[in-house]
Structure 1
């Protein structure tokens, strides 16, 4: 008898409210994570229980944001404990999404220009070899930039393994090793040497690519085809 009180209308209104509340929660969590990533700060705390005086940077920053915004405070206060988007897994998912967008922005800024690669490797506390990779290039304004693009675990620090890891990162970003114009490494012995070092292996791969491209041009020339 009363259309405004019909079950379909009430469910639709409730659904819209849930969506709006969820959007506020998600936006708040993303803003806090972006701030921590920009400042290079840790997320987790040693004690994140409600009785703890310091629950870690993420939860404390989110609480600070809630204290200065009544709408955000109301949304998180009325949300159930398992639906506050504060779990470590949620933090990791949002962080990974930020990482993907950041890498896309770096590759877009690089464009089709040549670049140099900077590589360093170190053993972490769990005795696993980790290799950090950064790109060095000149942007459209003529400024030299160095951008970190990833860190990858390598089974060993032989030149072959390091080269395979670099090629894997390049492939995931759509970069070609033929555009590589410079290499910078640390002083590790496995990265040195005229014949067995990583630099020499990459140079040999570039020469092979150049020779292959030259042979293709000759074949296409005799066949009367375009390259």
Structure 2
């Protein structure tokens, strides 16, 4: 057997081994992907639960010495306590670059959920006619804000009201209200 054939056979044999670098990296990547998906699914469930209940996410002090870490971290800890798989992937067990507990990540998850809800409202409305209900009030900082709600009769003949949002407005004139309503409706298609 020629030296070339020996090297070729050794190369083929090494490629077939279960410890070959490509196989190890592939297994590592697929396991890491599965772990990240489970970690993110747990976070989405915590965000969904807090959002649907209308609870605050964060506390004033979420440091390790704090007594109150906020609802988000408390609920995530509870979920981890009840599920061993999640316990091994979140909070202090998560890689430092993949904790996903920052306020920015929470807001992005909320934005995705809000977009899904808005898409469902848009589907529900379809081509039916609707009324726009607008109410203005001042917040604690004395800034004007306007809520926009749509009232419609759905396919089953049931009267529904769907909240679209709160818009801060500079004043309470008709022109400002119209521009704000146009802005909100165009953002929701």
Q: TM-score, normalised by structure 1?
A: 0.73
- Cα distance in 1 between the residues matched to 2:19 and 2:96: 30
Secondary structure of 1:37's partner?
helix
Consecutive unaligned residues of structure 2, counting only runs of 5 or more, are 1-13
1:42 aligns with 2:56: yes
* Equivalent in the alignment of 1:150: 165
Q: How many residues matched?
A: 174
- Cα distance in 2 between the residues matched to 1:22 and 1:125: 40
Q: CA deviation at 1:25?
A: 0.8
1:166-177 correspondence to structure 2 within 5 Å:
166-174=181-189
- Cα distance in 2 between the residues matched to 1:15 and 1:7: 12
- Cα distance in 1 between the residues matched to 2:152 and 2:74: 38
1:96 aligns with 2:117: no
1:17-166 correspondence to structure 2 within 5 Å:
17-76=31-90, 77-166=92-181
Secondary structure of 1:99's partner?
helix
The CA deviation string for residues 106-149 of structure 1, in whole angstroms up to 9 with x for no partner, is: 11111111111111122223333221101111111111111101
Secondary structure of 2:18's partner?
helix
Q: CA deviation at 1:78?
A: 2.8
Consecutive unaligned residues of structure 1, counting only runs of 5 or more, are 175-227
